[in-house]
């Protein structure tokens, strides 16, 4: 039987040289789920342990007794695994290639030896500033090598880092600092993106004026653009000054496998972001193993993931996975369209990138400019392409495969989450037939299942909510400071399983197709935004009575943000006020939460018990008023008509 045109069978040449071919996948997958203890015990040997673990898996998904422990008696240090153990064989190998926003500024190549030295110096400086094992350190940096150095220096001294994305504003920084009571913040004078500057230090200053941030004793400031910034002594210290005279060696802290490595805040269904906590051993095993196999890593690869270190993709697949594997990873400070829309491919050619990992939103944005900016470049070094962050539509997949990869490079569409720590469902280039739009098969040890809304497991070809039946080493361990929320969010909906929050379809071949979030999270350009966060930013404005926020399909971003706003009685709507509210959200949360549409709503569709019917608001936002469905349970059905009229400009 010949394959249907929508299937791209494994390339025999790729399979012949790959670490995992089809047979190996089937065999190892079966083993990984039949005997996880043995499987992950063996995989765990890839790390350098200070004390070899003997207890591999200790897990119970039952909400009454929930616990998740991996390698629990093992001891290790993540920075030693990412740096020290490579020094002998790979000391002079490039660990990080830094490509700045402005191509004229020239790239930097940082060897494993040089990176080790920079990390040790900062780690010593952190200790001298009183940072101890278990302390929290917030990192608010642009995409510069110091971001990776800062993460690894925290890991070296056992401090728990919390990286806050540079696109967040003062309020969001303050919330995240307050929640984990950070002792120290590492930031820069300014960031650079697409020829513009971002006032990072000024944002930190504003954040530290807000309540709840008193825990911060020190702010380390990297001099990046050289802009004049306000230094408040003795709180603020120049990074250069505190690191320059530190010794180039630093004794690593012995960490238990289950000691926290980092906290990363992500949006959920409520207004308050969750501090997703990852621990050291299982996370590092999982990040490095998935990185090696999904990207079929080779010693001479130049690997480029375009994510920001402020997101989990940057944590697992720019810093921890690649460096634990001794790979060469590229860090890019800029954006895809600066100085022009060939930039990604110019960087690929300049650094002879072999593996390229990006998000569908970037692909769609570049696709809009046609093939020219791509075809102007060679890209002959590329051998593998990856996608992450949101469902990739088949048209974008095909453009990526055919135009960017010249129909030569397999595309790995990797489904995973901040919570999962690493890739969960993805093709392996030598083992899996590709289907545009499908993340295909589970990674080793991952047991996905689809459930209906009653929690019944669906077999065969089906569509439902995606749950995972058993633990994997990279799984988050708790919500920082709120273990109950961890249990309630992930383990109560479908008891005995981890609930992902995503909808998913499984086709007749057993391949998985993620359909998107089924909760109140919007995925804007691959960034998770909670509708409740945007709503609370809107209602914090003195003229707003009520707000409801939903996602709507957006050609480039995947989803856009649509806000319905009810003003306080007596307030008049105006174009000026609309702009003011949009600006208010940007300053409350950050530019990534900018509403694409803001519609005045004299009333919101509510049930008689007062619940906002988002399903209806989503349909109006989508411009599909003919699909509103049953509105008879509304307290006042007439509000719907007025919202539809306003939407249609009637």
Q: Which residues are annotated as a binding site?
A: 193-196, 313, 337, 389-391, 413-418, 502, 517, 525, 528, 539, 541, 544, 586
- The distance of closest approach from Cβ of residue 317 to ligand 6R9 in the complex, given in angstroms and rounded to an integer, is 9
646 neighbors 600 (Cβ within 8 angstroms): yes
* Structural contact between residues 533 and 570, judged by C-beta atoms closer than 8 angstroms: no
Quick note: the x/- pattern for ligand 6R9 over 504-523, rule CB under 6 A, is ----------x-xx-----x
**Footprint on residues 525-554 left by ligand 6R9 (CB under 6 A):** 526, 528
Least Å distance, CB 388 to ligand 6R9, is 5
* Dihedral over Cα of 233, 234, 235, 237: its sign: positive
The smaller minimum CB distance to ligand 6R9, of residues 501 and 560, is found at 501
Identify the residue among 172, 414, 478, 531 touching ligand 6R9 (CB under 6 A).
414
For the CB of residue 117, give the shortest distance to ligand 6R9 in the complex, in Å: 31
The answer to whether 253 touches 157, Cβ cutoff 8 Å, is yes
312 binds ligand 6R9 (CB under 6 A): yes
* Exposure string for 291-320, b = 16+ CB within 10 A, e = fewer: bbbbbbbeeebbbbbbbbbbbbbbbbbbbb
Question: Pick from 75, 84, 189, 502: which binds ligand 6R9 (CB under 6 A)?
Answer: 502
Smallest gap, in angstroms, from Cβ of residue 266 to ligand 6R9?
Answer: 5
The annotation places the binding site for ATP at 389-391, 413-418, 502, 517, 528
Distance CA 507, CA 518 (A): 19
- Between 313 and 361, name the residue whose CB sits nearer to ligand 6R9: 313
Shortest Cβ 380–ligand 6R9 spacing (Å): 26
For residues 396 and 557, the answer to whether their CB atoms sit within 8 Å is: no
Interface with ligand 6R9, residue 263, by CB under 6 A: no
Q: Are strands 255-256 and 75-76 parallel, antiparallel or unpaired?
A: antiparallel
- Nearer to ligand 6R9 (CB atom), residue 269 or residue 417: 417
Q: Which is nearer to ligand 6R9, 141 or 359 (CB)?
A: 359
Residue 418 makes contact with ligand 6R9 by CB under 6 A: yes
Query: Which amino acids are annotated as binding site for Mg(2+), given as ranges?
Result: 539, 541, 544
Q: For strands 191-193 and 355-358, give the pairing.
A: unpaired
CB closer to ligand 6R9, 162 vs 500: 500
Q: Is residue 95 a contact residue for ligand 6R9 (CB under 6 A)?
A: no
Nearest to 357 by CA among 291, 418, 300, 280: 291
> Which residue in the set 415, 444, 498, 512 belongs to the binding site for ligand 6R9 (CB under 6 A)?
415
- Residue (191 or 360) nearer to ligand 6R9, CB: 360
CB 301 within 8 A of CB 355: yes
Site for ligand 6R9 in 427-446 (CB under 6 A): 439
Closest distance of CB 131 from ligand 6R9, Å: 27
Pairing of strands 302-305, 260-266: unpaired
Choose the binding region for ligand 6R9 from 6-14, 186-194, 494-502, 569-577 (rule: CB under 6 A). 494-502
**Does 182 interact with ligand 6R9 (rule: CB under 6 A)?**
no
Pattern of binders to ligand 6R9 over 367-396, x per CB under 6 A?
--------------------xxxxx-----
Q: Considering beta carbons, is residue 71 or 317 the nearer one to ligand 6R9?
A: 317
Nearer of residues 131 and 359 to ligand 6R9, judged by Cβ: 359
Dihedral sign of CA atoms 372, 370, 402, 304 in order: positive
Q: Is 165 or 444 the residue whose CB approaches ligand 6R9 more closely? A: 165
> Is residue 588 a contact point for ligand 6R9 (CB under 6 A)?
no
- Residue corresponding to tokens 């307290």: 635
- From residue 324, give the alpha-carbon distance in Å to each of 48, 286, 367: 10, 11, 34
Among positions 44, 53, 373, 501, the unique one binding ligand 6R9 when judged by CB under 6 A: 501
- Residue 350's contacts (CB-CB under 8 Å, 6 or more residues apart) are 99, 107
Give the nearest distance from C-beta 422 to ligand 6R9 in angstroms. 9
204 vs 363, which CB is nearer to ligand 6R9? 363
Give buried/exposed letters for 592-617 (b at 16+ CB in 10 A, else e). bbbbbebbbbeebbbeeeeebbbebb
472 touches ligand 6R9 by CB under 6 A? no
CB-based burial of residue 233 (10 Å sphere; 0-12 exposed, 13-18 middle, 19+ buried)?
Answer: exposed
Phi first, then psi, for residue 533 (nearest 5°) are -65, -45
Q: In whole angstroms, give the CA distance from residue 290 to residue 325.
A: 10
Min dist. Cβ of residue 296 to ligand 6R9 (A): 18
Task: Give the annotated binding-site residues for CoA.
Answer: 193-196, 313, 337, 525, 586
Question: Which alpha helices (DSSP H) does 198-330 contain, by range?
Answer: 200-208, 239-243, 281-294, 312-314, 321-324
Q: Does 308 bind ligand 6R9 (CB under 6 A)?
A: no
Taking the least distance from each CB to ligand 6R9, the nearer of 120 and 412 is 412
Q: Does 412 bind ligand 6R9 (CB under 6 A)?
A: no
Min CB(386)–ligand 6R9 separation in Å: 9
| Rounded-to-integer distance, Cα 465 and Cα 455, Å | 9
Q: Exactly one of 98, 311, 357, 494 binds ligand 6R9 (CB under 6 A); which one?
A: 311
Cβ atoms within 10 A of the Cβ of 407, count?
10
Six-digit token string for 255: 């960490």
Q: 163 with 310: CB under 8 angstroms?
A: yes
Query: Which is nearer to ligand 6R9, 258 or 390 (by Cβ)?
Result: 390
Please check whether residue 129 is in contact with residue 150, taking contact to mean a CB–CB distance below 8 angstroms: no
Strands 255-256 and 260-266: unpaired
Who contacts 243 (Cβ-Cβ below 8 Å, separation ≥6)?
118, 121, 122, 124, 125
Q: Residue 431 CB, nearest distance to ligand 6R9 (Å)? A: 17
Structure tokens at 450: 């689809």
Maximum alpha-carbon separation in the chain: 73
Tokens in use for 619?
């349909």
C-beta closer to ligand 6R9: residue 61 or 499: 499
Query: Quick check: 605 binds ligand 6R9 (CB under 6 A)?
Result: no
**What is the spatial distance between Cα 650 and Cα 643, in angstroms, rounded to a whole number?**
10
Contact residue for ligand 6R9 among 266, 279, 328, 478 (CB under 6 A) = 266
Binding site for ligand 6R9 (CB under 6 A): 266, 311-313, 387-391, 413-418, 439, 500-502, 514, 516-517, 523, 526, 528
């Amino acid at each position: 039987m010949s394959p249907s045109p929508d299937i791209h069978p494994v390339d025999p040449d790729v399979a012949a040289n790959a670490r995992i071919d089809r047979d190996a996948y089937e065999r190892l997958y079966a083993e990984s789920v039949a005997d996880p203890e043995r499987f992950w015990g063996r995989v765990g040997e890839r790390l350098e342990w200070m004390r070899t673990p003997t207890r591999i898996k200790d897990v119970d998904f039952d909400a009454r007794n929930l616990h998740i422990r991996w390698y629990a008696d093992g001891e290790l240090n993540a920075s030693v695994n990412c740096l020290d153990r490579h020094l002998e064989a790979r000391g002079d190998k490039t660990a990080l290639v830094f490509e700045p926003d402005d191509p004229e500024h020239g790239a930097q190549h940082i060897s494993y030896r040089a990176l080790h030295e920079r990390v040790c110096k900062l780690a010593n400086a952190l200790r001298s500033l009183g940072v101890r094992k278990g302390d929290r350190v917030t990192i608010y940096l642009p995409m510069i090598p110091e971001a990776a150095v800062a993460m690894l220096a925290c890991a070296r001294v056992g401090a728990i880092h919390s990286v806050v994305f540079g696109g967040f504003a003062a309020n969001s920084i303050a919330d995240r600092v307050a929640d984990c009571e950070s002792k120290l913040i590492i930031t820069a004078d300014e960031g650079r993106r697409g020829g513009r500057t971002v006032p990072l230090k000024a944002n930190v200053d504003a954040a530290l004026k807000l309540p709840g941030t008193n825990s911060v004793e020190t702010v380390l400031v990297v001099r990046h653009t050289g802009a004049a910034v306000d230094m408040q002594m003795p709180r603020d210290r120049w990074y250069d000054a505190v690191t320059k005279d530190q010794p180039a060696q630093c004794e690593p802290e012995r960490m238990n496998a289950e000691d926290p490595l980092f906290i990363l805040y992500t949006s959920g269904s409520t207004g308050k972001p969750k501090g997703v906590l990852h621990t050291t051993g299982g996370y590092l095993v999982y990040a490095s193993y998935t990185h090696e196999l999904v990207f079929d890593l080779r010693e001479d690869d130049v690997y480029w993931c375009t994510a920001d270190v402020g997101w989990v993709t940057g944590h697992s697949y720019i810093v921890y996975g690649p460096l634990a594997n001794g790979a060469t990873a590229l860090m890019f400070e800029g954006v895809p369209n600066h100085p022009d829309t060939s930039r990604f491919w110019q960087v690929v050619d300049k650094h002879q990138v072999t593996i390229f990992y990006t998000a569908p939103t970037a692909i769609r944005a570049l696709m809009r400019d046609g093939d020219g900016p791509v075809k102007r470049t060679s890209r002959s070094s590329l051998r593998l392409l990856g996608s992450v962050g949101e469902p990739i539509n088949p048209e974008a997949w095909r453009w990526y495969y055919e135009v960017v990869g010249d129909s030569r490079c397999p595309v790995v569409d990797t489904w995973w989450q901040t919570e999962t720590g690493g890739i969960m469902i993805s093709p392996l280039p030598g083992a899996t037939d590709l289907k545009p739009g499908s993340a295909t098969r589970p990674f080793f040890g991952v047991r996905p299942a689809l459930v209906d809304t009653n929690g019944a497991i669906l077999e065969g070809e089906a569509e439902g909510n995606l749950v995972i039946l058993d633990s994997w080493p990279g799984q988050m361990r708790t919500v920082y400071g709120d273990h109950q929320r961890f249990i309630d969010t992930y383990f109560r909906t479908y008891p005995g399983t981890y609930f992902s929050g995503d909808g998913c379809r499984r086709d007749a071949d057993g391949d998985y197709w993620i359909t998107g979030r089924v909760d109140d999270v919007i995925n804007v350009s691959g960034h998770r935004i909670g509708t409740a966060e945007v709503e609370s930013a809107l209602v914090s404005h003195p003229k707003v009575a009520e707000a409801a926020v939903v996602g709507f399909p957006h050609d480039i971003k995947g989803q856009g943000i649509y806000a319905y706003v009810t003003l306080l009685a007596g307030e008049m709507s105006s174009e000026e006020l609309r702009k003011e509210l949009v600006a208010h959200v940007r300053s409350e949360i950050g530019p990534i939460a900018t509403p694409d549409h803001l519609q005045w709503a004299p009333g919101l569709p509510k049930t008689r018990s007062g619940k906002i019917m988002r399903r209806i608001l989503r349909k109006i936002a989508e411009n599909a008023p003919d699909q509103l469905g049953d509105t008879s349970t509304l307290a006042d059905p007439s509000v719907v008509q007025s919202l539809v009229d306003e939407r249609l400009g009637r």
